[in-house]
Chains A and B, each alone.
Chain A
Amino acid sequence: MISVKNITKHFGQHRVLNNISLEIKPQEVVVIIGPSGSGKSTFLRCLNGLEKVSDGQIFVNNKEITHSKTNLSHVRKEVGMVFQRFNLFHHLSVLENITIGPRKVLKVSQEEAEKRAFALLEKVGLSEKAGAYPDQLSGGQQQRVAIARALAMNPIVMLFDEPTSALDPEMVGEVLAVMKDLAREGMTMAVVTHEMGFAREVGDRVLFMDDGIIVEENTPDEIFNNPKEERTKLFLSKIL
């Protein structure tokens, strides 16, 4: 589904990603953990071309997105992304936030788009908020709308960039619940998170990143109970 080959990313002199390779298979849930500044968010943002890699190749559904001739908006239609800060469109209602992508990008009729939006709102438990504006919602509600907005494009893979880090603790659960449902339905997911409980429960594979490289990758069980690398042990000892 996603194939990453030897990517490197520099910000000026600073090397953020150092020769990373990764395969994500269909229906797999890959959880990326690591200290802040380890490059995990940058890595995720490379997967839909929001960040340009300095070197290496990324293939999404066999299309090379790192090729300069690739039309990125075509690729991004199929790759959903959920942001730490939600990034809902403030000037649009919840319903319009969800329908604008299908209408303007996929050219779906308004009627069709709204029908699907209501189904998605029901899925994330916010049917009654269709007419509200983002700033009238709590953080957890906003993030669930953001997930619905991404799903409205019928993506083949979903990227989550610390989706619960900006939330008050009592709202983390409602967002994780939606993500767990998605994983159960077979959505392919790459999730950058500090929620170790989620990683353990839902992840098929956990990557531990530090200093721009993947230090260790394994099943959640192995990573959390039996980490091999010193850096992994050190990190886990600090957060668990």
Chain B
Amino acid sequence: MNFFQIVSAAMPQLLQGAKLTVWFSIASIILATVLGLVFALLKLSHSKISRRIGEVYVHIFRGLPLLVEIFYIYFAIPMILPLHKWFDPYFTPIAGIIALALNEGAYITEIIRAGILAVDRGQSEAALSIGMTGPQTMRFIILPQAFKRMVPPLVNQFIQTIKDTSLLSAISVTELTRSGQIIISTNFASLQIWTAIAVIYLAIILLLTALSGYLERRWQIDKR
């Protein structure tokens, strides 16, 4: 069999894996962004306790290797909390998404925090001066302006998240990388299959990059 025959024979299984990769990426990106927003606001809060909670979160989940976090949630925590029984048959994907989201969320916390801090103080003063409350100021004035600046670093982090889903192969989520490993274990065509996997990853990330380029251009209307 030549290169293309091997790859096209493996394609249905690889695309199945790619589909999982995309779903895991989307779920953990959404969850990580929510976590990032919550912990960024905590870190910027006036309350010392809130700030401390935010700091501890970032410190732990940015400080550990992602693979260790995945193993900890998948293998270690069930030793004391039978999560795998409660969430049976979905524990593996849930653990995977949560581990990814907690890790990426720590980085996103810092991205969002930096974005908020980069908005000129005069903006919030002006909002407060027309009687807006703190939360209204954040929601209507600060975040929309901060978000625009956050797009490039966020896209960076989302790309990182997509690639990091490959680590879920270690807890036997049959995403793209794991599907490839399974195929290779039967046909031993390492070169062909890993090449196909690489191309698929690049295609997914190219799609995301194109989408973010489009969004950035669209949000340039007011030149800020």
Contact = CB atoms under 8 A, between A and B. Distances in A.
12 contacts: A50-B128, A73-B131, A73-B132, A76-B129, A79-B129, A89-B126, A90-B123, A91-B222, A91-B224, A105-B132, A136-B223, A150-B129
Nearest to B131: A77
B224 A90 contact: yes
B210 to A, nearest CB: 24
Interface of A: 48, 50, 72-74, 76-81, 83, 85, 87-93, 100-101, 104-106, 133-136, 146, 149-150, 152-153
A93 B129 CA distance: 19
A150 B221 CA distance: 25
B181 interface: no
A89 B129 contact: no
Interface of B: 120, 122-123, 125-133, 136, 140-141, 144-145, 148, 221-224
Given A91-B148, A135-B223, A83 B136 contact: no
Given A83-B125, A83-B126, A89-B141, A101 B221 contact: no
A12 to B, nearest CB: 19
A133 B128 contact: no
Contact of A90 (B128, B129, B145): B145
A136 to B, nearest CB: 8
A78 B131 CA distance: 8
Give 5 closest A-B pairs by Cβ, nearest first: A77-B131, A101-B130, A87-B126, A87-B122, A81-B129
Per DSSP, chain B at the interface is helix
Contacts of B222: 90-93, 133-135
A78 B148 CA distance: 32
Contacts of A85: 122
Nearest to A133: B222
Contacts of B122: 83, 85, 87
Contacts of B145: 89-91
A76 B128 contact: yes
Contact of B132 (A50, A92, A104, A146): A104
Nearest to A136: B223
Contacts of B129: 48, 50, 76, 79-81, 83, 150
A89 B128 contact: no
A150 B131 contact: no
Given A73-B131, A91-B145, A104-B140, A135 B126 contact: no
Contact of A101 (B120, B132, B148): B132
A105 B132 CA distance: 6
Given A73-B132, A76-B129, 6 more contacts: A50-B125, A77-B131, A80-B129, A87-B123, A135-B222, A152-B130
A50 B130 CA distance: 11
Nearest to A74: B131
B133 A73 contact: yes
A150 B131 CA distance: 10
Contacts of A73: 128, 131-133
Contacts of A152: 130
Nearest to A132: B222
Contacts of A50: 125, 128-129
Contacts of B123: 87, 89-90
Contacts of B125: 50, 83, 87
